[in-house]
Amino acid sequence: MGKVYICKYMQENNSDIELIKRALKDDQQAYTEILKKYHAPLYNLLYRMVRNKMETEDLVQEAFIKAFSSLASFNDDYAFSTWLYKIAINNCIDNFRKKKLKTFPLDKPIESKNGKIKREFPDSSYRPDKFLLSKEKDRLIYEAIQSLPDKYRTAIVLRHNEDKSYEEISEIMDIPLGTVKARIFRAREMLKKQLKEKLFPK
């Protein structure tokens, strides 16, 4: 971890701590500033988990409500963003369990603004250009990630989409560091197997 990164991290955390202190004194503007600062990154994280805009927005709002209601318990030895992500992830997982949401099977149509998109198997008589091949690969990767069990999908999204360190993931998911590494290793193996079968069929 470089000195510039550490300095930036400390400045960011100090800024958050000041906002929290103001919020705890019933400064409504401080709550608004926290909301504006973290709404987009939190939304992006949770959307990768549930893939539903309305449900994601509901989960984001619930996460902020829970965070604001327990703001006094925040330990400023840790990053506020990590604490907030932990609340959001736990709430998201609870939502999965409560509604018994299932992961998307690989052959399930993908929802888009133009309706449902079904998987189109390649025609051996037609060779698409590189752009179409890239789009197909991206879609297969997305489907493979969505098919992972919740605990593996959460870990891989935090690691590769959110660029979180193993230590941060450990804090967010409230699991030992070794378990984080094991889950990410297992998730990668599962993805590798699925993508090998889909991208390089025998």
The token pair that represents 8 in the structure block: 């930036």
Same domain, 151 and 116: yes
Digit-coded pLDDT (tens) for 86-126: 999 988 888 887 776 444 444 555 554 555 555 444 444 44
Same domain, 32 and 85: yes
Digit-coded pLDDT (tens) for 18-76: 999 999 999 999 999 999 999 999 999 999 888 889 999 999 999 999 999 999 999 88
Range of the domain at 131: 103-202
Counting the structural domains of the chain, the total is 2
Cβ burial, residue 49 (10 Å; 0-12/13-18/19+): buried
CATH of the domain at 10: 1.10.1740.10
H/E stretch holding 101: none
**What pTM did the predictor assign?**
0.63
Digit-coded pLDDT (tens) for 135-194: 667 777 888 888 888 889 999 999 888 888 899 999 999 899 999 999 999 999 998 888
At residue 133, the pLDDT reads 55
